[in-house]
Structure 1
Amino acid sequence: MSDDNKSKPRDAAVEKEMAGVPEEFRDDGIENEGENEDSEDSLGEALESLRNDLEAAKQDVLYAKADAQNVRRRAEKDVQDARNYAATGFARDILSVADNLGRAVDSVPAEIREDEKMKGFIVGIEATQRELDKVFGQHGITRIAAKGLPLDPNQHQAMMEVPTDGHEPGTIVQEMQAGYMIKDRLLRPAMVAVAKKPD
C-alpha cells in the first residue's frame, strides 16, 4: 500500500468525523495557522507593553524614593538649624546689654579705677562682662574682627569715611558698634568708619 493510499482512508475518516460539526467550528488548519501568528503578534505586543509599564513603574519608584530622601534631608537640616539658631532672637536682643556694659567699663576714668572704694565695683562689672562673653562663646556667638581690616560688606557696615594717609582706602579705622556672628550666620554687622584718600 502506497503513502497516498494510507493517507486517503485517514482523510476520509477525518472528513467523516467533521461531517457532523457545523462549518464555523471546523478547524481546517490554514485559518488556524494565521490565527496562531496573529495571537503570537498580539502576545508579543502585550509583553512589550508590560515591559514598558514595568520600566515606567521602576522609574516612578526611584523618583519617589529620591523625593522622600530629599524631604528627609530637608527636615533634618531644618531641625539642625532650629537647634543651632533657636537663640538668635534672644541673642540679638541681649547684644544691647553687652554694648551698654562695655560702654560702662570703658567710661570709667583712671582715677576712679585706682580708688580703693570703687575698685571692687569696677572689678565686679568687668567680671560680669567677661562672664557674658563666656556665655556668648558657649552658644556660638562670636565678635567680628573689624579695626585694621579691609571692609567686608558681609560682616561690616560702613557708617562714614575718614580721610587719612595712614591707612589704605577701604581699611576700617574705627569701630562704632561691635558686630557678632552666631555660628556661621551674621547676627549683627559691625558698624565702622573706613579710610579714604584725603581730598
Structure 2
Amino acid sequence: MSTQDYTDIQNTTEPQNPAEEVTEQTQAEASDISIEALQAQLATLAAGYESAKEQALRAQADAQNARRRAEQDVEKAHKFGLEKMVNDLLPVVDNLERALAAIDTGNEALSAVVEGIQLTHKSFVDALARHQVIAVSPVGEPFDPNLHQAVSAVPNPDVEPNTVINCFQKGYTLHGRLVRPAMVVVSKAP
C-alpha cells in the first residue's frame, strides 16, 4: 500500500469528531447572530444615510436662499443707490419751482428768463423721471401717512375730513420707495 492510499483510508474510516459537530453548530448560530447584527448595522446605516441626505438638502436650500438674498441685495443697491443723490438734488427742483412762482410772467423783459427757467425745470424733472423719481403732489387726495407729512390741519366744511387741501412741498418716490414725504395741509371736521 502506498502512503496516499493509507491517508485516504484513514480519512474515510475515522469516525467524525464531536468537536467538529459543535463547531458546525456554533457557525450556524454565529451566522444567525451575524445576520441580526448585519440587519441592525444596515438599519443604522440607512438612518445615517437619511440624516446625511436631509442635511445635504438643507445645505443646498440654504445656499440657494443666500444666493437669492444676495441677488435681491444687489438689485436693491442698483435701484436705491441714487437715493442720497436724489435727496441732494430735490432742493434744486424746489428752488426752480419757487423761482417760477415768484417771477412776474406778465413782464415782457423777463419772458426769456421765465422760458429758460421753465426749460431747465422741465429737463431736470424729466431726468429725474428717467431714473424713476416720481413727484407726489396729493392736493385733493385723502391723507396717506405713508406718503404725506401733515404740517397743519384746517377746518374746512367744503371737503371731507383728512383730505389734503394744500401742498407746501412736493414729495418724491424712487422706484416706489418714499424719498421725501409731501408736506401738506389736511382738512378736519369743523
Asked if structure 1 preserves the Cα contact closer than 8 Å seen for 2:137 and 2:167, the reply is no
Partner of 1:3: none
Asked if structure 1 preserves the Cα contact closer than 8 Å seen for 2:93 and 2:121, the reply is yes
1:123 paired with 2:115, answer yes
1:68 paired with 2:63, answer yes
CA RMSD of aligned residues (A): 1.9
Partner of 1:92: 87
Secondary structure of the structure 2 residue equivalent to 1:122: helix
Gaps of 5+ in 2: 1-10
Residue 14 (structure 1) shift: 2.8
Residue 26 (structure 1) shift: 7.8
Taking the TM superposition and a 5 Å limit, the aligned residue runs for 1:38-77 are 38-77=33-72
Distance 1:168 1:11 in 2: 122
Secondary structure of the structure 1 residue equivalent to 2:157: coil
Distance 1:102 1:145 in 2: 13
- How has the CA–CA distance of structure 1 residues 157 and 10 changed in structure 2, closer, same or farther, with 3 Å as cutoff? farther
- How has the CA–CA distance of structure 1 residues 12 and 145 changed in structure 2, closer, same or farther, with 3 Å as cutoff? farther
Taking the TM superposition and a 5 Å limit, the aligned residue runs for 1:140-159 are 140-159=132-151
Distance 1:12 1:144 in 2: 112
Residue 116 (structure 1) shift: 2.7
Gaps of 5+ in 1: 1-8
Residue 10 (structure 1) shift: 6.5
From 6, 13, 16, the counterpart of 1:14: 16
Partner of 2:130: 138
1:164 paired with 2:187, answer no
Partner of 1:189: 181
Secondary structure of the structure 1 residue equivalent to 2:109: helix
Q: Percent identity?
A: 34
Residue 138 (structure 1) shift: 0.5
Matching residue's letter, 1:51: A
Matching residue's letter, 1:73: R
Distance 1:129 1:97 in 2: 9
Secondary structure of the structure 2 residue equivalent to 1:114: coil
Distance 2:46 2:183 in 1: 66
Matching residue's letter, 1:89: K
> Normalising by structure 1, what TM-score?
0.85
Residue 29 (structure 1) shift: 2.3
Asked if structure 1 preserves the Cα contact closer than 8 Å seen for 2:143 and 2:186, the reply is yes
Count of aligned pairs: 180
Residue 35 (structure 1) shift: 1.1
